[in-house]
Amino acid sequence: SQKIEQNSEALNIQEGKTATLTCNYTNYSPAYLQWYRQDPGRGPVFLLLIRENEKEKRKERLKVTFDTTLKQSLFHITASQPADSATYLCALVVNSGNTPLVFGKGTRLSVIA
Amino acid sequence: DTAVSQTPKYLVTQMGNDKSIKCEQNLGHDTMYWYKQDSKKFLKIMFSYNNKELIINETVPNRFSPKSPDKAHLNLHINSLELGDSAVYFCASSQITRGETQYFGPGTRLLVL
């Protein structure tokens, strides 16, 4: 069966450290992978998109990697700050079918001062 | 100048009632979506419209009926509400159907008593 799994429901990290979140998928052939941030009581906000032929993407303190062999994406936040505390969702755009985005359940990140 | 707006933000109603949620986007996008986020925070697509035409209709009870009067609006009408319909409903839009960044509204929190 098709699955998207984000490594843990919750991740606590000390301020200043690098947070690493994992997104694994099975039985999908994604063309793209996206990462979104969701704050409590709000809708998801787009952060980064990475294509299947790209290994890495960066935006300020954010870095995303995409390994289609391992079927995994890693999302890194360097020099993490308490303001980075939120739920982070990965989403796949698959090569077949009409469904535009398939979301993982998210990882709730807490950055402790 | 909110990009994607939804009304109402909160909706508390009795089982068996009929209710509507409205969504509007001012981004000039061609595609709009409805998502349901349940108590476990899993975000799942329900419907997608492109230029007022239904293109995705996931396995959703036919008590749910989307209506798109124009490409800037996508409303969701729910008949005979059930307890299991309690969730947060998000509207989103994107420029094209697949692979594109999606912009989400703030969500409508529906509670069926």
Q: What percent of chain B has pLDDT over 90?
A: 68
Contact by Cβ (8 Å): A10, A111: no
Q: What is the pLDDT of residue A29?
A: 81
Which of B31, B99, B104 is opposite residue A93, by nearest beta carbon? B99
Q: What is the pLDDT of residue A20?
A: 96
pLDDT digit string, tens, across residues A44-66: 999 999 988 899 999 999 999 99
Contact by Cβ (8 Å): B107, B92: no
CA distance linking residue B65 with residue B55, whole number of Å: 14
Residues of A (76-95) whose Cβ lies below 8 Å from B = 87, 89, 93
pLDDT digit string, tens, across residues B37-70: 998 788 999 998 888 888 877 778 999 999 999 9
Confidence of residue A99 (pLDDT cuts 50, 70, 90): low
CA distance linking residue A61 with residue A103, whole number of Å: 23
CA distance linking residue B59 with residue A94, whole number of Å: 18
Give the mean pLDDT of A23-32: 86
Listed by start position, the domains of chain A span: 3-112
Do the Cβ atoms of B43 and A44 come within 8 Å?
yes
Q: What is the pLDDT of residue B8?
A: 97
Topology given in CATH for the domain delimited by A3-112: Immunoglobulin-like (2.60.40)
Residues of A (16-75) whose Cβ lies below 8 Å from B = 31-32, 34, 41-46, 49
Q: What is the pLDDT of residue A76?
A: 98
In order of their start, the domains of chain B are 4-112 (2.60.40.10)
Give the mean pLDDT of B90-107: 86
Q: Is B60 on the interface with A (CB under 8 A)?
A: no
A30 prior amide bond cis, ω within 30: no
Give the mean pLDDT of A28-39: 90
